Structure 1
Amino acid sequence: MVWQTIKRWYHMLGSPRYFHTFSSRVLPWLTPIALITLVTGLVWGLAFAPSDYQQGNSYRIIFIHVPASSGALMGYMALGVSGLVAVVWRMKMAEVMLKAIAPFGAALAAISLITGSLWGKPTWGTYWQWDARMTSMLILLFMYVGVIALQNVIREPRQAARAAGLLAIVGVINVVIVKYSVEWVQTLHQGSTLKLFGESTINPAMKYPLLISMLGMWLLYAVNVLIRARSEVEWRERRSKWVQTLIREGGK
């Protein structure tokens, strides 16, 4: 039953027209939920969470750094899945998702690197160190930029999607490296103190606003992807009757 439901949703959302209708219904309530959740987590963490006994208030940048980093990693995993579907099954919506996911993921990877550098200066005494975590995160940013570049350089959409999809699939290996680099290699970067499975070592007063900030960032990512995917669908299907009807009716 569960597998049949997944297959049904997979084929339904694989239809550009159905996806457009679905996103039109989801965005009006998902957007405010994402913004409220993210703002709640950030305000709670930046203004009300207690100071760290070692780092003082400088640690508060984690409420931006960690959500951005986790969003960039999850986004690239979604990019890799979209790339696999686009390359193997040539599904149009997977090609659309390749184009919709990459820009916000690249922005989050850049924010992660910038905030990490700002956090590193008072903590480690340096803005940058070519260790495993920082270098692999920089490579992740380059992979995002590479996917975006391929989609813009190659004019034929399906060829562009195939090239970008192959790069996205290869880049998933780097996501694993980013995730486990602090465990495999000795590095300045601290190990994970927040765990979804198992006991976290972070203070609960810091943990909950951090989790809310992360959830808000993921939801905002989803909003961005839906908006960009809708625009891409409208452009690709601009000669379809349903899009022409949509334009005549005012874009709803």
Structure 2
Amino acid sequence: MNSLSRLTNAAITLTQPTRFLEFAERTIPYLVGLTTASYAAGLYLSLSSDVDYQQGATVRIMYVHVPAAWMAILCYTTMTANAVGSLVWRHPLADVAARVAAPLGAAFTFVALVTGAIWGKPMWGTRWVWDARLTSMFILLIMYLGILAINRSIDEPTRAARVTAVLIIVGFVNIPIIKFSVDWWNTLHQPASVFRLGGPTMDVEFLYPLLVMGFAFATLFATLYVASIRNEIWRRKLISYQSLAARAAVCKEHQDEP
């Protein structure tokens, strides 16, 4: 219980912007190093692994495509958790964390769709079909772009946070659709072969490089996410300082008037 209490207190402390900035400055260099080492190991394993007897060397696209898709889903799930915190508890850092995740999620989703199209041409004979998995991933990209557009179109921060949080939470219904679309409908995609109740069905020759690359993508997401939250906090602080300076200048002008 003491360990749980200390962990809870530490988590609560990090929700304070000043504390988070201190945490980010200490953590980002380690995350960058871990990301670099993970990608070096993942790329080495991916390029040195055997080719598939059916897909040949094109199977190596999987080591980028699948982790990018994982991160696209993880990013939206993280956004949803922060959107709940922003909407229910009105915590400003939760709004920041939800807002900065959108461009990261859009980038991962775009990479997943592009690499999937490249992989699909030699495997399926086409780069795109409107099956359930592809369509739901494309909808996810549209949702990310819509969230970005709303954030930029609403000038009032409180209203923008509320509208964005509601949209994120409503859109979360698409995440289980993406995950289980291959089980619910007849699609070109194969069923889950890594994260499944019966354990992975993929051969270890391909599984280990995939998991290492998945970890590398996760550390990249963590690095960019923490850095983005830090930058957004500093941006809001700067805007606040500029607003205070402008008000002080106006007050001084009024005081100097005869």
Tell me the residue number matched to 2:13.
Answer: 12
Tell me the residue number matched to 2:115.
Answer: 115
Q: Percent identity?
A: 37
Contact kept, 8 Å, 1:64 with 1:115, in 2: the verdict is yes
Aligned-pair CA distance for 1:196: 6.3
Contact kept, 8 Å, 1:95 with 1:158, in 2: the verdict is no
Question: What is the RMSD of the two structures over their aligned residues, measured on CA atoms?
Answer: 1.4
Quote the Cα distance in structure 2 between the aligned partners of 1:190 and 1:55: 14
Letter in 1 for 2:202: I
Q: TM-score, normalising length from structure 2?
A: 0.89
Q: Does 1:169 align with 2:169?
A: yes
Q: Does 1:23 align with 2:32?
A: no
Quote the Cα distance in structure 1 between the aligned partners of 2:41 and 2:185: 35
Alignment of 1:180-219 (within 5 A): 180-195=180-195, 198-219=198-219
Alignment of 1:43-192 (within 5 A): 43-45=44-46, 47-192=47-192
* Inter-CA distance 6–161: structure 2 relative to 1 (3 Å threshold): farther
Letter in 2 for 1:41: G
- The list of structure 1 runs, each at least 4 consecutive aligned residues, that deviate by more than 6 angstroms after superposition, is none
Moved more, 191-200 or 140-149: 191-200
Aligned-pair CA distance for 1:48: 0.5
Aligned-pair CA distance for 1:197: 5.1
Aligned-pair CA distance for 1:146: 1.2
Tell me the residue number matched to 2:247.
Answer: none
Quote the Cα distance in structure 1 between the aligned partners of 2:139 and 2:105: 13
Aligned-pair CA distance for 1:164: 1.1
Unaligned segments of structure 2, at least 5 residues:
242-258
- Tell me the alpha carbon deviations over residues 137-164 of structure 1, each in whole angstroms, 9 at most, x when there is no partner: 0011111111111111111122111111
**Aligned to 2:225, what secondary structure does the other structure show?**
helix
Aligned-pair CA distance for 1:9: 2.9
- Tell me the alpha carbon deviations over residues 115-145 of structure 1, each in whole angstroms, 9 at most, x when there is no partner: 1111111111111010000000001111111
Contact kept, 8 Å, 1:71 with 1:217, in 2: the verdict is yes
Letter in 2 for 1:18: R
Quote the Cα distance in structure 2 between the aligned partners of 1:133 and 1:116: 11
Letter in 1 for 2:142: F
Count the aligned residue pairs.
239
**Aligned to 1:237, what secondary structure does the other structure show?**
helix
Q: TM-score, normalising length from structure 1?
A: 0.91
Tell me the residue number matched to 1:231.
Answer: 231
Contact kept, 8 Å, 1:38 with 1:214, in 2: the verdict is no
Contact kept, 8 Å, 1:120 with 1:127, in 2: the verdict is yes
Aligned-pair CA distance for 1:89: 0.7
Aligned-pair CA distance for 1:99: 1.8
Question: Higher Cα Rg: structure 1 or 2?
Answer: 2
Contact kept, 8 Å, 1:147 with 1:167, in 2: the verdict is yes
Letter in 1 for 2:167: L
